[in-house]
């Protein structure tokens, strides 16, 4: 069962909070110490590789001070391996929680590494679709009333797409069991 799922600017803006996500960058230029209200960063020399909050890395990239380092999970070999494991194994695989949001933001803003490697976007979308299908299939086989549901390794965008279907399925189960008495 192949269904089309999507992610929009509105969903990404309302659900993705990048303050706790760190991203690896490499400085192209020397940057002196910068003081913010709650913390200070720097100084950084040329070719210094650091992990900074995504929002700060994004700002540095916009000023052409850094280059994003391609994450391991964006390499085609890693992605294809996850796609095959998602198909073969029952449970969802461990992947970065906000993988769709990060790539979408980078793609939308034409950040440098996506221009170099665009093929993984197709594999990422396939991975996303397989994971959503797996979540829905798992929910459809659920035919008993439940009080709790444990979801492991689910990304934020996947959860948003799954939420509406989950509510409909749980209401249907409740309706069936309430009318059997």
pLDDT digit string (tens) for 17-62?
666 678 888 999 998 988 888 888 889 999 989 988 888 888 888 8
Q: Is residue 29 part of a domain?
A: yes
Name the more confident of 111 and 67.
67
Asked, for residue 108, whether it belongs to a domain, the answer is yes
Query: Is residue 10 over pLDDT 70?
Result: no
Each residue's pLDDT tens digit, 145-177:
566 566 777 776 677 767 777 777 667 666 666
Residue 4 lies in a domain: no
pLDDT surpassing 60 at residue 116: no
Cβ neighbours, 10 Å, residue 152: 7
Considering the domain boundaries, does residue 3 fall inside one? no
* Domain boundaries, position 102: 9-178
Q: Does 163 reside within a domain?
A: yes
Query: With b meaning 16 or more CB within 10 Å and e meaning fewer, what string describes 44-77?
Result: beeeeebebbbebbbebbeeebbbbbeeeebeee
Let me know if 145 is exposed, middle or buried by CB neighbors in 10 A (0-12, 13-18, 19+).
exposed
Domain of 155, CATH number, reads 1.20.58.2050
For 73-92, what is each residue's pLDDT tens digit?
888 899 899 999 999 998 88
Count: domains in the chain:
1
| More confident call, 112 vs 71 | 71
Global pTM exceeds 0.85 = no
Comparing 76 with 118, the larger pLDDT belongs to 76
Distance CA 68, CA 74 (A): 12
Instruction: Please report whether residue 162 resides in a domain.
Output: yes
Q: How far is residue 20's CA from residue 18's CA, in Å, rounded to a whole number?
A: 5
In a domain, 1, yes or no: no
């Amino acid at each position: 069962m192949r269904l089309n799922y999507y992610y929009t600017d509105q969903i990404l803006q309302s659900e993705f909070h990048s303050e706790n996500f760190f991203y690896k960058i490499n400085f192209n230029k020397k940057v002196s110490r910068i003081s913010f209200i709650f913390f200070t960063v720097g100084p950084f020399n040329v070719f210094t590789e650091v992990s900074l909050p995504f929002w700060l890395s994004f700002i540095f990239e916009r000023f052409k001070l850094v280059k994003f380092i391609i994450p391991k999970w964006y390499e085609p070999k890693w992605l294809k391996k996850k796609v095959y494991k998602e198909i073969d194994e029952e449970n969802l695989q461990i992947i970065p929680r906000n993988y769709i949001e990060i790539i979408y933001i980078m793609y939308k803003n034409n950040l440098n590494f996506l221009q170099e490697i665009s093929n993984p976007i197709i594999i990422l979308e396939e991975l996303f679709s397989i994971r959503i299908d797996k979540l829905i299939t798992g929910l459809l086989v659920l035919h008993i009333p439940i009080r709790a549901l444990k979801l492991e390794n689910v990304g934020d965008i996947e959860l948003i797409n799954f939420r509406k279907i989950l509510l409909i399925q749980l209401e249907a189960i409740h309706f069936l069991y309430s009318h059997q008495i």
